[in-house]
Amino acid sequence: MRPQPPEGVRELDLEKPNAARMYDYFLGGSHNFAPDRALAAQVEQVTPWVRHIAGINRAWLRRVVDFLVAQGIRQFLDLGSGIPTVGNVHEIAQGREPDTRVVYVDYEAVAVHHSHELLRDNDKATVVWADVRQPTSVLEHEETRRLLDFTQPIGLLCAGLLLFISDEYDPAGLLATYRDACPAGSYLAISTMSQDEADPATAEQLADLLKLYEMADERIYPRDKATIESWFAGTELVDPGLVLLHQWRTERSAEGDPLWTQHEASPARLIGYGAVGRILG
Ligand SMILES: C[S@@+](CC[C@H](N)C(=O)[O-])C[C@H]1O[C@@H](n2cnc3c(N)ncnc32)[C@H](O)[C@@H]1O
Instruction: Compute the average pLDDT of residues 14-32.
Output: 93
Residue among 31, 58, 107, 166 whose CB has most ligand 1 atoms within 8 A, to mutate: 107
The Cα–Cα gap between 269 and 246 comes to 6
Position 262 confidence tier, pLDDT thresholds 50, 70, 90: low
Looking from the CA of residue 165, the nearest atom of ligand 1 is 16
Q: What is the DSSP letter of 236?
A: E
Q: Domains in the chain, please, with CATH?
A: 19-279 (3.40.50.150)
Residue among 12, 50, 114, 164 whose CB has most ligand 1 atoms within 8 A, to mutate: 164
Q: Residue 79 C-alpha to ligand 1 middle, in angstroms? A: 7
Q: Residue 54: what residue type? A: A
Paired sense of beta strands 125-129 and 75-79, if any: unpaired
The Cα angle at residue 20 between residues 175 and 156, in degrees rounded to 5:
25
Q: Residue 82 C-alpha to ligand 1 middle, in angstroms? A: 5
Name the residue at shortest CA distance from atom 6 of ligand 1.
81
Q: What percent of the chain has pLDDT over 70?
A: 95
Position 13 confidence tier, pLDDT thresholds 50, 70, 90: confident
Answer yes or no: is pLDDT of 209 > 80.
Answer: yes
Answer yes or no: is pLDDT of 2 > 80.
Answer: no
Answer yes or no: is pLDDT of 9 > 90.
Answer: no
The Cα–Cα gap between 75 and 78 comes to 10
pLDDT tens across 189-208, in order? Answer: 999 999 999 999 999 999 99
Answer yes or no: is pLDDT of 252 > 70.
Answer: no
| pLDDT score of 249 | 92
Position 11 confidence tier, pLDDT thresholds 50, 70, 90: confident
Position 10 confidence tier, pLDDT thresholds 50, 70, 90: confident
Answer yes or no: is pLDDT of 257 > 70.
Answer: no
Other Cβ atoms closer than 10 A to 242: 20
The Cα–Cα gap between 79 and 182 comes to 14
Query: Measuring CA to CA, how many Å separate 43 from each of 56, 184, 191, 202?
Result: 17, 41, 21, 14
For ligand 1, residues with CB inside 6 Å are 20, 23, 57-58, 61, 80-82, 106-108, 111, 131-133, 159-161, 164
pTM over 0.75: yes
Q: Residue 89 C-alpha to ligand 1 middle, in angstroms? A: 14
| pLDDT score of 265 | 77
Q: What is the DSSP letter of 79?
A: E
| pLDDT score of 261 | 59
| pLDDT score of 260 | 55
Looking from the CA of residue 159, the nearest atom of ligand 1 is 8
Contact 253, 246 (CB under 8 A): no
Q: Residue 280 C-alpha to ligand 1 middle, in angstroms? A: 26
b/e per residue 42-60 (b: at least 16 CB within 10 A): ebbebbebbbbbbbbbbbb
pLDDT tens across 30-69, in order? Answer: 999 999 999 999 999 999 999 999 989 998 999 999 999 9
pLDDT tens across 137-155, in order? Answer: 999 999 999 999 999 999 9
Angle subtended by helix axes 19-26 and 109-118, to nearest 10:
60
Instruction: Compute the average pLDDT of residues 76-85.
Output: 94
Q: What is the DSSP letter of 50?
A: H
Instruction: Compute the average pLDDT of residues 205-221.
Output: 95
Q: Residue 241 C-alpha to ligand 1 middle, in angstroms? A: 23
Instruction: Compute the average pLDDT of residues 122-128.
Output: 96
The Cα–Cα gap between 89 and 73 comes to 12
Q: Which of 11-20, 74-83, 161-170, 245-254 has the lowest mean pLDDT?
A: 245-254
Residue among 24, 63, 161 whose CB has most ligand 1 atoms within 8 A, to mutate: 161
Classify residue 17 as exposed, middle or buried by CB count within 10 Å of its CB (0-12, 13-18, 19+): buried
**What average pLDDT is seen over the chain?**
93
